Amino acid sequence: MFSDLCSPAGMSEAPALNDRLRTGPAVSRMALLINPFYRKDPHGSFGKHVLTPTLALTSIAAATPLGWQVRYWDENLLKGPPPHRPFPQVVGITVHLTFARRAYELARWYRARGAKVVLGGLHVLSCPEECAPHADALALGEGVQTWPQILHDVERGCLKPRYEGSYDWHFRHDPPPERAILPRRDFLTTASLIATRGCKNRCTFCYLATRGLKMPCQRREAEDVAREFAATGEPYGVFTDNNLGANRLYLRELCRALRPLEKIWSAAVTINVTDDETLVREMALAGCTGVFVGFESLSAQNLNDVGKNTPHPQDYARRVAIFHHYGMQVNGSFVFGFDHDGPDVFERTADWIEENRLECATFHILTPYPGTPLFDDLRRQGRLLHKNWELYDTAHAVFRPLLMTPEQLDAGYSRCYRRLFTLSSIWKRRPLTLKETIPYVAMSLLYKRANRLWPLVIRHGLTHALWRPLVEVSRRRHVEFRRHLCEHPQTSQSLLVAPGV
């Protein structure tokens, strides 16, 4: 099986930077935005890394002042080292702790050749002192606000070492993302969307609990979101909101705005959205084919400890059935390593996933991000193993669990992925009718069993072409399902395939 193999070089090693390479002079008023390479976990799907582009960089690009050229480069598209001809005057690099070292390498390379380098992102906010020596300027907080000022100061020759943007500024005033800079063929869909920002939950392990990050809950006008989705020309969209269902009145309004588009989409929601079954029906009628649900744990004690506001895990199965009734696939997110997790947590979780026919599952090892309450607690308790940020990727144990060893935690995490990606597990979780089984199996094999194929697909820009037929089949079938749902609202419905859930 692919999950027993090491990652191919292209998925585990960043492209080499040629320190002897000579570049021409920087082109005035040219900016390059880079999403650095990060190592891919061989236990997961390589395909998930090219489902949608980062929304952060396209939003920054949209804020670029007139008179400036802006280019986009994602190292994870496997096209080799980042571009240098023409050579940019300014390079903006987004920084996450797992690829911080790569971001610093890129910053050093471009600065050595005369570019002004700006670092932004969550890791810059949580560890500014660490990031500062690697940049000409840091962008802390909301980058859409600070980017125009940074470029203006570059032109005037008075670039400051630090710029701070406030999330209190309502993001509905921001321009729509600049998707024209994206290589469309390299992604399943370029329709990364955001309708809401912030989250009412304050889970101690979540990045939203990072010290200094104050992100109030905000919402865009539903009609504006629908117009943006329509303008992408994509049949399938992915909402990147932390919790699209946080405000149920707003979600209902958004669904009614999206319904006439006859497109399909997926989103992250909490299981609480099933409190109101009529709302789930509205989601289905609006084109929702898949939900990403952060179950996190099947232990109520674990959930209480981290401040997760959720129904009791004993009620999860009934609520999953509600999503299934309305034709939505469920991608369940589970975290291992909480204080009440023993060595038996892995098999229990995998059993539950198969029993409830979750079409997909995403596993994480509990990871204490710098600046979060969890990080501070584990540091005080002396349970952190190291601060090698590259391994803070939710795929490695970086602290000592209470009821098992770090080695047991690593092994159990790997074992869950191996089990869920087997043909027998995929088959156990199939839809109840043959009509829906065929596309589900096709999607599962492509997403979960094709890691040997994905590097080739990604490198040659075939992602969009490979996924598009499945997307269109899914869209057409879901349009029919919606009509059936309107005509027979009480009729139960078996699962429909949803790409990229």
pLDDT digits (tens, 9 = 90+) for 184-193: 999 999 999 9
Please give the average per-residue pLDDT across 256-271, as a whole number.
96
Distance CA(255)–CA(32), nearest Å, equals 36
* 262 and 358 co-located in one domain: yes
Residue where a domain terminates, one of 112, 138, 171 = 171
The answer to whether position 262 is within a domain reads yes
The answer to whether position 501 is within a domain reads no
Decide the pairing of beta strands 360-365 and 137-141: unpaired
Residue 494 predicted with pLDDT over 70: no
* 159 and 195 co-located in one domain: no
Q: According to the model, what pLDDT value does residue 302 have?
A: 94
Task: Quote the mean pLDDT of the chain.
Answer: 90
* 165 and 288 co-located in one domain: no
Residue 397 predicted with pLDDT over 80: yes
Residues 154-181: tens digit of each pLDDT: 999 999 999 998 777 777 778 889 999 9
Burial level of 233, CB count in 10 A (0-12/13-18/19+)? Answer: exposed
DSSP assigned state of 278: H
Please give the average per-residue pLDDT across 83-94, as a whole number.
96
CATH number for 473: 3.80.30.20
Closest CA to 209 of 361, 5, 442, 368: 368
Distance CA(436)–CA(426), nearest Å, equals 13
Residue where a domain terminates, one of 143, 171, 199 = 171
CATH number for 89: 3.40.50.280
The answer to whether position 62 is within a domain reads yes
Q: According to the model, what pLDDT value does residue 174 have?
A: 84
Alpha-helical (H) ranges within 157-261 are: 222-232, 248-258
Q: What total of structural domains would you count in the chain?
A: 2
**What percentage of the chain exceeds 90 in pLDDT?**
73
Q: According to the model, what pLDDT value does residue 213 have?
A: 61
The pair of structure tokens assigned to 411 is: 């092994």
* 203 and 159 co-located in one domain: no
For residue 64, which amino acid is it? Answer: T
Q: According to the model, what pLDDT value does residue 6 have?
A: 52
pTM of the model: 0.90
* 388 and 477 co-located in one domain: yes
* 206 and 348 co-located in one domain: yes
Please give the average per-residue pLDDT across 129-138, as a whole number.
97
The answer to whether position 495 is within a domain reads no
Residues 356-391: tens digit of each pLDDT: 999 999 999 999 998 888 999 999 999 999 999 999
CA distances from 372 to 197, 207, 369, 382, 403 (A): 19, 7, 6, 16, 22
Confidence of residue 150 (pLDDT cuts 50, 70, 90): very high
Residue where a domain terminates, one of 139, 171, 203 = 171
For residue 49, which amino acid is it? Answer: H
- The residue ranking higher by pLDDT, 306 or 421, is 421
The answer to whether position 6 is within a domain reads yes
Residue 209 predicted with pLDDT over 70: no
DSSP assigned state of 384: B
- The residue ranking higher by pLDDT, 398 or 22, is 398
* 124 and 219 co-located in one domain: no
* 397 and 299 co-located in one domain: yes
Backbone angles phi, psi at 102, to 5 degrees: -65, -40
* 219 and 102 co-located in one domain: no
Quote the domain boundaries for residue 158: 2-171
- Contacts of residue 451, defined as CB under 8 A and 6 or more positions apart, other chains included, come to 2, 3, 5, 42, 45, 46, 47
Please give the average per-residue pLDDT across 114-142, as a whole number.
94
The answer to whether position 180 is within a domain reads no
* 152 and 209 co-located in one domain: no
Confidence of residue 497 (pLDDT cuts 50, 70, 90): very low
* 164 and 208 co-located in one domain: no
Q: How would you label 345-357 residue by residue, b for 16+ Cβ within 10 Å and e otherwise?
A: bbeebbebbbebb
Please give the average per-residue pLDDT across 280-296, as a whole number.
96
The answer to whether position 11 is within a domain reads yes
- The residue ranking higher by pLDDT, 399 or 474, is 399
The answer to whether position 331 is within a domain reads yes
* 383 and 448 co-located in one domain: yes
